[in-house]
Every structure is written in structure tokens, then in C-alpha cells.
Amino acid sequence: MGWRRLFFLSVLVTVFSACAEWQDLPVQIYVDTRFSDLEQEGIADAVAEWNRQAGCRYAYGDVVLEIAGTVTDDFTERDYEDGVHVIYRISNPIEAEQYLQNVYGGADSTLGNATLADVILIMYNFDRFMIELEAEQCERSAQLGYDNQNLQASLDRFRFHFVRNLALHELGHLLGLLHHNDRPGVMNDDGLSFLSGSEFLTDADLDAFCLIYDCCCNRL
């Protein structure tokens, strides 16, 4: 093999390696204990969705993500270098302020962020919205004579689905997937479509997964 061909192949491998981001599967993840029980259920359901859909295509097993336990630890940028994959609940603007300032220029409307290292769900924006929503709905329920117990159940369902769908999207980034908008999917980045639209992984998401990881035909 001539040196020109060897050089070309080495460049090709280098470029491919730089573009392809992947993890050793299954990825062991830990969940911040500051998430409520309901929120942890939403995260667990998001993990289960990745395993249901991507797990049946992955060539080497049924599990691509696995919750290994919980941690009690505030987020710092150093956590991205410790080799432990954690889903953090950012409950106040100060905790990740510098990081979010560096990445987004602020976090007034940011909901989440993820790399191959960790996931952060920026819950203080959502919590603020929920306080306002609950006050409005309680007032309306009182005016209409509705049962507040049913209202609370409705708000709980909303919180569960919000955390679940947000985690579903960010876990895709943890696995190395990028945004795509050519077809509908959880990994779309146009506004909140992944929250209000796709609650399940689509063929577009799974095709993106299979561009990174070895897949075989559907093993269901």
C-alpha cells in the first residue's frame, strides 16, 4: 500500500473519529436526589423508552442506558471531568450560572443541556412557571367550583411529562446524538416540539442512534 493511500486513510479515520461521538454501552447514569419522586419516575420512564426503542436495534444488547443509583451533589463544571454520568437538577440560577453563561450567554429560557459527560435539567425556570400556573388554575377552579384534588393530579401529570420528555431529549445528547430537524423526532431543536410533540423516539431518532452505534435489524 503506497504512502499516499496510507496518508489518506489515516486522515479519513481521524476525521471520522472527530465527528463520531459515542459511549461504551450501556451508559451507567446517576440521578440527583433533589429530583422529587415524581420527577425521578419521569426520568426512569425516559430511560426505559431509550431501552425499549434503541435497545431492540442495538446489536450487542437490549440496554443502552442504566440508572445505577442516586447522588447528592451540586453541579460544578469540574463534574464534567470526573467520569461519572449524572442527571443534575438545577434548582437555582446560581448553581450553574457561569457554565450557562459560557454556553448560552445566560439561562433565562434554557431548559436543559447535556454532553457525553452529564445532563443538567434546569428546573428553576420550570418551577417558576409551575407556581404561576398553579395559582392561575387554583383561582379558576375556585371560580368554577372544581375539586382541587383533581387539579393537583392534573398538575402532577404535567410535571411528570415535562421532566420525562426533557430527559428523553437530553439523554439523546448524552448518547452522542445531535439535533436534527429534517424529520419529526425527540431530537428536534425547534422550540419545544420535543416537549409538546414527540413523546416517543421516532425512526429519525433511531436512525441517528444507529449512525453512531452498531445496529442490527429490529430484534423484537
Cis check: omega of the bond before 184, within 30 degrees of 0: no
Q: What is the mean pLDDT of residues 17-43?
A: 85
CA–CA dist 58, 55 (Å, integer): 5
Q: C-alpha distances in angstroms, 31 versus 85, 90, 105, 216?
A: 9, 12, 26, 30
Residue 210, pLDDT above cutoff 50: yes
Instruction: State the Cα angle at 45 between 167 and 161, rounded to 5°.
Output: 60
**In whole numbers, what is the pLDDT of the chain averaged over residues?**
81
Specify the CATH architecture of the domain 22-124+162-212.
3-Layer(aba) Sandwich (3.40)
Local confidence band at 83 (pLDDT 50, 70, 90 cut-offs): confident
Convert 95-113 to b/e letters by CB count within 10 Å (16 or more is b): bbeebbeeeeeebeebbbb
The amino acid occupying position 201 is L
pLDDT score at 1: 45
Local confidence band at 19 (pLDDT 50, 70, 90 cut-offs): very low
Q: Are 48 and 104 in contact (CB under 8 A)?
A: no
pLDDT score at 25: 94
Share of the chain above pLDDT 70, in %: 81
In the chain the first and final C-alpha atoms are separated, in Å, by 43
- Which three three-digit cell numbers place residue 194? 420535543
CA–CA dist 193, 14 (Å, integer): 35
Q: Are 171 and 117 in contact (CB under 8 A)?
A: no
Q: Are 201 and 185 in contact (CB under 8 A)?
A: yes
Sign of CA dihedral 90, 49, 184, 172: positive
Q: What is the DSSP letter of 114?
A: E
Q: What is the mean pLDDT of residues 180-205?
A: 78
Q: What is the mean pLDDT of residues 121-127?
A: 88
CA–CA dist 155, 123 (Å, integer): 15
Residue 109, pLDDT above cutoff 70: no
pTM metric for this prediction: 0.84
Local confidence band at 202 (pLDDT 50, 70, 90 cut-offs): very high
Domain edges within the chain? 22-124+162-212
pLDDT score at 38: 96
CA–CA dist 138, 115 (Å, integer): 38
Local confidence band at 14 (pLDDT 50, 70, 90 cut-offs): very low
